[in-house]
Amino acid sequence: MVCLNMQQMIQKKTQHLLALDGAKERLHLLKAELLEEGCFDSIVDGCHGVFHTASPVIFSATDPQAEIIDPAIKGTLNVLKSCAKVPSIKRVVMTASVASVLYNGKPMTPDVVVDETWFSDSRFCKENKLWYMASKTLAEEAAWRFAEDNMINLVVLNPGFVIGPLLQPALNSTSEIILALTKGECTSPDFWFVDVRDVAYAHIQAFEIPSATGRYCLVQRHVQFPEILKTLNELYPTLGLKEKFEDHEKPLERVFQISQEKSKSLGLSFIPWEVKMNAAEKVVCVTGASGYVASWLVKLLLQRGYTVKATVRDPNDPKKTQHLLALNGAKERLHLLKAELLEEGCFDSIVDGCHGVFHTASPVIFSATDPQAELIDPAIKGTLNVLKSCAKVPSIKRVVITASIVSVVYNGKPLTPDVVVDETWFSDSRFCEKNKLWYMASKTLAEEAAWRFAEENRMDLVVLNPGFVVGPLLQPSLNYTSEVVLAHTRGENIFPSSIYWLVDVQDVAYAHIQAFEIPSATGRYCLVERVVEFSEILKTLNELYPTLGLERKCEEHDKPLKRTYQVSQEKAKSLGLSFTPWERSLRGTVESLKEKGFLSI
């Protein structure tokens, strides 16, 4: 009976993690004792990054030094000591607290703006019996000293009072306090609110953005107790807080602010602390939303808390929309709207009220009877139709367009092994037309038209130029690139080239969001993980799936691989991208083809 109860306790702590997307394939749960020196040695071995979030949250104790301060310092140093032994770890991101920023006895007048240069004073905290604040301050100080002594690349996040939706089934300390607030209990006169999703996102950004350094204060707003009561009363009148609110109804005092300047360099756009404002503050449009890349983009946007206006040709076609409607958050924040790309003015009402637009819709056709009418004109007209609608909406702060690597590399320049293609390259539409590369011509001319329009209309435009996109499918039908991979499983090449610029669909979708959210994002971004020959793809498929029977086809193509030109990743990495290896992406495509019944092996 005791064993069963222990098992139930373990399940309560882990079940929500095991239910996450990708957990089955890529989540490894490991037992660790934070205060046991050396416990993390084997755990962090082979890692490229470590996020240290574990720390006791206790505000009162019989023996504060032994119960709060010593464990916070020792736990932090235990993790860092293990990290120092692993050369592959490129960065450690540590969750500290705004508690290690604010408590130093300085005057906190309304004109004060607290930033990352502020540090709490542990002696001040101890004198005032602020034991939790002292523990966070001393632990962070110890971390910085150790990182400096051992040349560890450390970034520290200092979030405020973290609120937002819970994934775990149990209450944590901040959700317990919110529960008390719903009863009108005053647990504190002041709160420095920040959304849990923003804090989690900031951790990833702090790890992935190469230029991230030092500390980052994460606070959306300082809020006083009466303001919280008033908002809860407006949102949930049945809580019966009106009387409590009236008891505290008095003019709010002006207070100090906490700077968001540095945190915004991580691409953060803070979710407002009032739940009712969330949907109104983060509205975007995705064109061609049922497509391969766009479906992943919609999924990631919903995960980030955005409200998404998604355009499709027929919102009532379940084959095109069912996978979108099944996404987490779709019920509350996804709006499917009918749109005809080539109908001028069609997007006017759709993009109205949006803060950003992602234009992904474009015909993918490599041969046509009348290329001008079937390919080139629709690509240009569709792009301009969307941009013309965007130009009428002042709230739109940025437009992100999905172009292609084909509007970069086709210009007749020699592509020798020593060449590195980058964002300064543009395809030549005349060269494309001369060589009957109609799809390449259409993407090139559409991108050129977009840049002209953006310049003339002072539009903040960012263009992504992904290569041949592979990886798992969300949509139930085959798109062009998955059709090509399906042909590869038979040893056939139906792509009009033996050279592939491979990139993972999830990396491309993520790049779209980064290109929108990071204020400094500008211009074009080439998105290619590796330039690969067809014979190398065949060989990899044969190694991954021997039952495909590709050995003979591999032998037919068995010749020394030529060194190919490269596509620069330097600018793409400024978006915080860490590209998925193409072999893993290829496997993801094949597994999706199997799962959706297109391939039986």
Please give the full DSSP string across 372-438, using - where no structure is assigned: IIIIIHHHHHHHHHHHHHHHT-TT--EEEEE--THHHH-SS----TT-EE-TT----HHHHHHTT-H
Model pLDDT for residues 214-262, shown as the tens digit of each residue = 999 999 988 888 888 888 877 778 887 766 656 656 666 778 899 999 9
* Same domain assignment for residues 227 and 124: yes
How distant, in Å, are the alpha carbons of 162, 173, 174, 467 from that of 221? 11, 19, 16, 41
Helices 505-517, 292-303: crossing angle, 10 deg rounding: 50
Residue 130 placed within a domain: yes
* Same domain assignment for residues 323 and 215: no
Domain boundary among 272, 302, 327: 272
Residue 293 placed within a domain: yes
Q: Residue 56 pLDDT > 70, yes or no?
A: no
pLDDT bucket at 537, cuts 50 / 70 / 90: very high
Residue 481 placed within a domain: yes
Give residue 217's pLDDT.
97
Give residue 280's pLDDT.
43
Q: Residue 540 pLDDT > 60, yes or no?
A: yes
Q: What is the mean pLDDT of residues 45-62?
A: 84
pLDDT bucket at 183, cuts 50 / 70 / 90: confident
Q: What is the mean pLDDT of residues 465-490?
A: 94
Alpha-carbon Rg for the chain, nearest whole angstrom, is 27
Model pLDDT for residues 497-519, shown as the tens digit of each residue = 888 999 999 999 999 999 998 88
* Same domain assignment for residues 222 and 335: no
* Same domain assignment for residues 196 and 345: no
* Same domain assignment for residues 540 and 473: yes
Residue 30 placed within a domain: no
Give residue 11's pLDDT.
66
Give residue 379's pLDDT.
92
Q: Is 58 exposed, middle or buried (0-12, 13-18, 19+ CB in 10 A)?
A: middle
Give residue 250's pLDDT.
61
Q: Of 20-29, 154-163, 374-383, 499-508, which gets the smallest average pLDDT?
A: 20-29
> Where are the alpha helices (H) located in 282-359, listed in sequence order?
292-303, 318-325, 330-333, 348-351
pLDDT bucket at 83, cuts 50 / 70 / 90: very high
Give residue 247's pLDDT.
60
Q: What is the mean pLDDT of residues 103-112?
A: 92
Give residue 396's pLDDT.
96
Q: Is 423 exposed, middle or buried (0-12, 13-18, 19+ CB in 10 A)?
A: middle
pLDDT bucket at 134, cuts 50 / 70 / 90: very high
Q: Residue 274 pLDDT > 70, yes or no?
A: no
* Same domain assignment for residues 375 and 250: no
Q: How far is CA 159 from the centre of its chain?
A: 19
Number of domains in the chain: 2
Residue 337's closest CA among 297, 288, 265? 288
Q: Residue 5 pLDDT > 50, yes or no?
A: no
Give residue 390's pLDDT.
97
Give me the percent of the chain exceeding a pLDDT of 70: 93
Are residues 508 and 527 in contact, defined by beta-carbon separation less than 8 angstroms? Answer: yes
Residue 10 placed within a domain: no
Of the two residues 591 and 253, the one the predictor is more confident about is 591
Structure-token pair, residue 532? 């690969």
Average pLDDT over the chain, rounded to an integer: 89
Of the two residues 49 and 168, the one the predictor is more confident about is 49
Residue 139 neighbours by CB under 8 Å, 6+ apart: 55, 72, 73, 75, 76, 96, 100
* Same domain assignment for residues 254 and 289: no
Q: Residue 93 pLDDT > 60, yes or no?
A: yes
Measured CA to CA, the distance from residue 80 to residue 40 in angstroms comes to 9
* Same domain assignment for residues 441 and 577: yes
**Residue-number span of the structural domain to which 563 is assigned:** 282-595
Domain boundary among 238, 272, 306: 272
Model pLDDT for residues 446-459, shown as the tens digit of each residue = 999 999 999 999 99
* Same domain assignment for residues 373 and 518: yes
The CATH code of the domain that includes 429 is 3.40.50.720
Measured CA to CA, the distance from residue 518 to residue 269 in angstroms comes to 9
Give residue 276's pLDDT.
34
Q: Residue 463 pLDDT > 70, yes or no?
A: yes
Angle (CA) 175 14 171, round 5°: 15
Residue 517 placed within a domain: yes
* Same domain assignment for residues 450 and 590: yes
Residue 13 placed within a domain: no
* Same domain assignment for residues 265 and 128: yes
Q: Whose structure tokens read 């084909």?
A: 406
Residue 575 neighbours by CB under 8 Å, 6+ apart: 511, 514, 515, 518, 521, 525
pLDDT bucket at 6, cuts 50 / 70 / 90: very low
Residue 550 neighbours by CB under 8 Å, 6+ apart: 489, 491, 538, 541, 542
Q: What is the mean pLDDT of residues 124-139?
A: 94
- What would the 3-class secondary structure string for 112-166 be? CEECCCCCCCHHHHHHCCCHHHHHHHHHHHHHHHHHHHCCCCEEEEEECEEECCC
Model pLDDT for residues 144-181, shown as the tens digit of each residue = 999 999 999 999 999 998 988 888 888 877 778 888 88
Query: Is 38 strand, coil or helix?
Result: coil
Are residues 468 and 500 in contact, defined by beta-carbon separation less than 8 angstroms? Answer: yes
* Same domain assignment for residues 304 and 197: no
Model pLDDT for residues 523-532, shown as the tens digit of each residue = 999 999 999 9
Q: What is the mean pLDDT of residues 274-298?
A: 79
Structure-token pair, residue 460? 């903040």
Helices (H) and strands (E) in the chain, counts: 29, 21
Residue 1 placed within a domain: no
Look up residue 244 and give its amino acid. K
Domain boundary among 235, 254, 272: 272
Structure-token pair, residue 50? 């470590």
